[in-house]
Amino acid sequence: MLSEKDFIVSSYSSIDYAAFECSAPSNIALVKYWGKKENQIPANPSISFTLNNCKTITKVNFTKKKSKNDFLFDLLFEGKPKEDFKPKILKFFQRIETYCPYLKEYHIVIDTQNTFPHSSGIASSASGMAALAMNVMSLEKEINSNLTDDLFYKKASFLARLGSGSACRSIKGEVVAWGKNESIAESSDLFGVEFNNINENFNNYQDTILLVDKGEKQVSSTVGHELMFGHPYAEKRFEQAHDNLAKITKILLEGNIEEFIKIVESEALTLHAMMMTSMPYFILMKPNTLEIINKIWKFRNETNIPVCFTLDAGANVHILYPENVSVKVLQFIKDELVAFCQNGHYICDQIGNGAESK
């Protein structure tokens, strides 16, 4: 089993200039991660579908500089300087310095963009940090001849986690688990691991994201996770997550969509229940979120079409369903659910394979 020490570079060569372009998708958790320990270690394991269309595309130029005293970087978002993103990037570089000491040798220019609207409720920090971690590892691959492909992806996930916890699940694989759990071999708190051999019932599984509220997050993820400290139901929730992860891995292997729906919807509601019972407490769902959930339940009961919902820590709704019912579900969305979306906006996506280097 890999430890943090295995990700420290002992020796590397020097190059004057390098440029890379990498993309990484967002992901949607099926079993939710909520609560963390020091150094971005999860309080409970999680597992997610990797998305395909909702991704961050990041170009990074590394130019050798004379001084090695500090990090020097410029940040562009959609081609324009974005100063308010820089503190988070600096914190990320500081966290990974031990593992990537070569970064201080370069002037780094980061040019990043999303294929989805910023603040749309899709996890842009996950895709953004995963894409940046992939670029850092592309540089390391150039200067470290000892780097294997397996270590490349595991370290990319490890680094991404230090930028944004869920980002470690956006590196490699259609289904990715993060956090030590007995039901998944080689699972780790340090990086995400690909969960293989999922049943064909989940091939090309669809995710349509209904944008109920496109405003900024009411509660940041960092604050939300901190609310689990001293939460009266925290320990029971962590136990539940372990149990649900064991159940859903079996479900994903066997293809039982009916049981999949039960776990996924229960996990979504539990996440919001934890927010509503924390101190301070928050209600992140909007009235239209509840309208959509009730419409989905009614539609599923009347048609027996296996469509379900999940939620992140916000008001928007992810609708999950098999590819073979997509025509009927999309018609249902247009007929009955679009009215509850802000400006009628929704995004169609499906399971993807993870990050890519261009």
Q: Look-up: residue for tokens 């000491």?
A: 101
Domain ranges in the chain are 4-197, 204-350
Which residues on neighbouring strands pair with residue 356, listed in sequence order? 23
- Asked if pLDDT for residue 120 goes beyond 60, the answer is no
Residue 278 is encoded by which pair of tokens? 């924390």
CA angle 123, 127, 128 (to 5 degrees): 105
Query: CATH for 4-197?
Result: 3.30.230.10
Torsion, Cα of 71, 158, 129, 348 (10° steps): 170
Output the pLDDT for position 339.
98
Class of domain 204-350: alpha beta
200 vs 1, more confident: 200
Q: What is the mean pLDDT of residues 12-35?
A: 97
Q: What residue has token string 């019932």?
A: 201
Q: What's the rounded mean pLDDT across residues 333-344?
A: 97
| DSSP annotation string for 78-95 | TTEE-GGGHHHHHHHHHH
- Give the tens place of pLDDT for each residue, 212-247: 987 766 778 888 899 999 999 999 999 999 999 999
Q: Give the tens place of pLDDT for each residue, 67-95.
A: 888 999 999 999 999 898 899 999 999 99
Cβ contact 126:167 at 8 Å:
yes
* Tokens, residue 53: 């269309």
The pLDDT assigned to 185 comes to 86
> Facing residues of 354 across strands?
172
Supply the mean pLDDT for the chain. 95
Q: Where are the beta strands (DSSP E) in 163-241?
A: 175-178, 192-194, 206-210
| Parallel/antiparallel/unpaired status of strands 346-350 and 206-210 | antiparallel
- CA 55 to chain centroid, in Å, comes to 10
Q: Phi and psi for 235 in degrees, rounded to 5? A: -60, -40
User: Does residue 163 register a pLDDT over 70?
Assistant: yes
Alpha-carbon span 312 to 257, nearest angstrom: 21
Q: What token pair was written down for 108?
A: 């780094």
Find the largest Cα–Cα distance for the chain: 68
Q: Tens digits of per-residue pLDDT, 279-317?
A: 999 999 999 999 999 999 999 999 999 999 999 999 999
Query: In the structure, what pLDDT confidence band is assigned to residue 261 with cuts at 50, 70 and 90?
Result: very high
